[in-house]
């Protein structure tokens, strides 16, 4: 029985100890997609392309290939391990404006699947489980 929680298609509100994790660009120009939602609803800061801001966390996805995203995902996973009283709601980072596929991005979050406080998109979870 799968009792995992998955990231909703559209996140419009967060619980008290929840953080919205979205794909960004290094310039912090949060103009579209989940990044725009992060600015409008969850305290993301224009001009800040990486890390914690308000009730959101930015992972840059627009600077090159998947290998350039991995260090930022790893940094996020380390933070999630330390902040185990906080739940991180991860969107399909890199799969919108950045143009990556779920198959390219999901494996970066394999370690996050082991953390009870990280909620991933269902598509990411299916790919990680299939590949492991």
Residue 54 sits in a domain whose CATH number is: 3.40.220.10
Q: Which residues, 6 or more positions from 32, have their beta carbon under 8 angstroms from its beta carbon?
A: 96, 97
Task: Identify whether 2 is part of a domain.
Answer: no
Task: Look at the chain and report how many structural domains it folds into.
Answer: 1
Query: Which is it for strands 51-53 and 87-90: parallel, antiparallel or unpaired?
Result: unpaired
Q: Which helix (H) or strand (E) holds 102?
A: helix 102-105
Note whether 18 and 86 are within 8 A (CB): yes
Indicate the pTM of the whole model: 0.95
Q: How far apart are the first and last CA of the chain?
A: 18
Task: Identify whether 13 is part of a domain.
Answer: no
The pLDDT of residue 130: 94
The tens-digit pLDDT sequence of the chain (132 residues) is: 355 789 998 999 999 999 999 999 999 999 999 999 999 999 999 999 999 999 999 999 999 999 999 999 999 999 999 999 999 999 999 999 999 999 999 999 999 999 999 999 999 999 999 987
Task: Identify whether 124 is part of a domain.
Answer: yes
3-class secondary-structure state, position 21: strand
Task: Identify whether 95 is part of a domain.
Answer: yes
How many Å apart are CA 127 and CA 28, to the nearest integer?
Answer: 29
How many Å apart are CA 31 and CA 115, to the nearest integer?
Answer: 30
């Amino acid at each position: 029985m799968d009792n995992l929680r998955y990231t909703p298609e559209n996140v419009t509100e967060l619980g008290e100890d929840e953080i919205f994790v979205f794909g960004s660009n290094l310039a912090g120009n949060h103009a579209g997609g989940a990044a725009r939602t992060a600015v409008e609803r969850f305290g993301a800061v224009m001009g800040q392309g990486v890390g914690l801001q308000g009730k959101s966390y930015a992972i840059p996805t627009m600077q090159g290939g998947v290998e350039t995203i991995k260090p930022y995902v790893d940094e996020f996973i380390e933070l999630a391990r330390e902040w185990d009283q906080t739940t991180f709601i991860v969107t399909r980072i890199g799969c919108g404006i950045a143009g990556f596929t779920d198959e390219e991005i999901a494996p970066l979050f394999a370690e996050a699947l082991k953390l009870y406080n990280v909620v991933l998109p269902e598509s990411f979870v299916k790919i990680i489980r299939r590949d492991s």
